Structure 1
Amino acid sequence: MDHWDELRMFLAVAEGGTVRAAADALGVNHATIIRGIGRLENKLNSKLFEKLATGYRLTDAGTDIVELAGQMATASSQIEARVFGRDQRVSGPLRFTLPISFATDLLMPTLAGFMHAYPDIALEIIASGTIANLGNREADVALRVVTGDTTPPGNLYGMKLCEFYTGYYGHLTLLAAPSGSIPWLLGPGEAVPSEWLPEGGIRMTATPIRFAEMRSQFEAARAAMGITLLPCFLGDVDPVLARVPGGPVARIGDVWLLTHSETRQTKRVRLLCEHIRTAMQDYAGRMAGRPDII
């Protein structure tokens, strides 16, 4: 098939439902996606999408080929992974995905050191709250928090680096001399704690303040807006925050470093994994909520 790029665009629109989502997923502009879909429809002499006010919907013809296109995408990714797995150069592209707070508040000095040591590696840092698909080569190395006692899927090679704990934090002045009622600062899907109450005369309001992402939530706590749940590695080292008296410190899961089984022997993958593993060993006490070991 000589229209593989167009098929990738077709799949991205089918999965994302809009041209904008497909463009974001593939890192191109929306006009490129529209032209690519047009070329594929001309090649196949068939309409693949209906354009609706809410996005794009597959036609019967589009539905007929989406599964086959997905199989081609899987095969293409497997070919790329197999070739990439034999690459022993200390140069070339390398994609690393990790949670945003890990990138901005923990590992950026480690990644800077890695790039100073290996300047010919074209590192792409994907700091995101979404999980990249290592099997489809959306990333080559992933740092993830795996909740509970689950383990990563069988097609991934991983090592458990450390435990991950969270606690409740507020501004030092807010906790030292509480006056009036203090609001909870809640992130997506978080509920007001029901199993404990702050000690030290702290009274909480019935109405929380909600945030769409953790960074704003964290900055709100630093601005003395209220009390919030944070990773211990973030809250314990901040100079204006302190743990809330009586607040629990809870193990959420474990931090895993993951690669795909086909690509884990690539030299630059191994070099990055060693850098991250060493750094996270040094941070293990901080990740576990032991501020005396940071």
Structure 2
Amino acid sequence: MDWDKLRIFHAVADAGSLTHAGDVLHLSQSAVSRQIRALEESLNTTLFHRHARGLILTEQGELLFDATQSMYKRVEAATARIRDSEEEVFGKLRVTTTHGFGALWLAPRLAKLYETYPDLNIELMLEERVLDLPMREADVAIRMKEPSQADLVRKRLMSIRMRLYASPDYLAQHGEPKTMADMSHHRLICQNPSSAQVSAGMQLVQELLTNDIEQTLTVNNYFGVLQAVISNLGIGVLPDYIIEDFPSVVRVLPDVESGEVPVFLAYPEELRQSKRVAAFRDFVQEEIMAHRRSRRAMGAD
């Protein structure tokens, strides 16, 4: 099969338009159209449904697009490995983690990484969904449980717990609970039960709700929970790693916390020698160590 025609097909399928694909490929629309017709003729099938608003893949087109996507991911992986054979750390690194950890802990620290490696381009993908690292949906993952996918390099970074926090202004106005039963007099701020979250956090919320709590505010991520807590709306269930960067919030009911939640960093075996991955891994580990020292100094553990 003609690789050049596959390259053009992939661009058209990705753009959904002959014109847009031509712009990407620096080819005229007519040249792109000829290549697509030639490919369809060689396969004896129709790859696109054509209509006024653009192009839609046929069932056969979707099968071919799946194949070309896989090819492009493998080419990207090979290109990255070739580039990483050089001494310099540069290029794109796709990092996936949860909304809470990515927004509240990782993103505020990335300036230090860019200071050391200004030619490194991080694509931060905040998702509760676990992306497929072996299929190169991302290069590196930081997850709140050990990854189960095969062919991954895994490293446990730290453990976190979900605890209760409030703002000083809220506690001054509403009082501080002394027992779990006292939570019935407060608004509980937590992740929506239907949201993807670590089971330890969900179990803590369920335990709290057995105390006849009538007022609640649910949000679908911890960033929203934190903002509500800072805005004096109630007592929030939040991961303990927020304390270092948000010292204004106060822990309440210090004997109440979730079970331990392990945090893992993982990346595909094929990127074991990647200098980009190594630079990011070492940076995160150094920040974790600094985070631990800070927590010990604050007496937060």
Structure 2 length normalisation: TM-score?
A: 0.68
CA contact (8 A) 2:147 2:266 kept: no
CA contact (8 A) 2:205 2:237 kept: no
Q: Tell me what 2:126 maps to.
A: 128
Displacement after TM superposition at 1:263 (Å): 1.8
Q: Does 1:267 align with 2:275?
A: yes
Q: Tell me what 1:60 maps to.
A: 59
Q: Which residue, 193, 202, 208 being the options, matches 1:196? A: 208
1:74/1:238 Cα in 2 relative to 1: closer, same or farther (>3 Å)? Answer: closer
Match of 1:195, SS state, is helix
Q: Which residue, 7, 10, 20 being the options, matches 1:32? A: 20
Gaps of 5+ in 2: 41-45, 176-183, 196-201
Q: Which residue, 141, 144, 154 being the options, matches 1:146? A: 144
Match of 2:158, SS state, is strand
Q: d(CA) in 2 for partners of 1:182 and 1:49?
A: 58
Q: Tell me what 2:113 maps to.
A: 114
Q: d(CA) in 1 for partners of 2:131 and 2:18?
A: 22
Q: d(CA) in 2 for partners of 1:270 and 1:255?
A: 18
What is the correspondence of 1:1-294 to structure 2 with a 5 Å cutoff?
Answer: 1-2=3-4, 3-4=6-7, 6-7=9-10, 10=13, 32=20, 39=33, 42-45=37-40, 46-49=46-49, 58-73=57-72, 75-80=74-79, 82-84=81-83, 86-97=84-95, 98-108=97-107, 110-119=109-118, 121-130=119-128, 131-142=130-141, 144-147=142-145, 150-178=146-174, 181-188=185-192, 189=194, 193-196=205-208, 204-206=213-215, 208-235=216-243, 238-245=246-253, 248-251=256-259, 253-284=261-292, 292=299
1:195/1:139 Cα in 2 relative to 1: closer, same or farther (>3 Å)? Answer: closer
Structure 1 length normalisation: TM-score?
A: 0.69
CA contact (8 A) 1:88 1:268 kept: no
Gaps of 5+ in 1: 14-18, 20-28
Q: Percent identity?
A: 17
Provide the aligned length of Structure 1 versus Structure 2. Answer: 268
Displacement after TM superposition at 1:127 (Å): 4.8
**Which of the two has greater helix per residue?**
2
For the aligned residue pairs, the C-alpha RMSD in angstroms reads 4.3
4+ runs deviating over 6 angstroms: 33-38
Question: Highest CA radius of gyration, 1 or 2?
Answer: 2
Displacement after TM superposition at 1:166 (Å): 1.3
Q: d(CA) in 2 for partners of 1:284 and 1:114?
A: 19
Displacement after TM superposition at 1:60 (Å): 3.4
Q: d(CA) in 1 for partners of 2:233 and 2:243?
A: 15
Q: d(CA) in 2 for partners of 1:8 and 1:252?
A: 46
Q: d(CA) in 2 for partners of 1:198 and 1:210?
A: 16
Q: d(CA) in 1 for partners of 2:214 and 2:137?
A: 43
CA contact (8 A) 2:98 2:126 kept: yes
Match of 1:175, SS state, is helix
Q: d(CA) in 2 for partners of 1:35 and 1:61?
A: 25
Per-residue deviation, residues 217-272 of structure 1 (Å, max 9, x unmatched):
21111111122221111157534422332773123532222222112212233223
Displacement after TM superposition at 1:76 (Å): 3.0
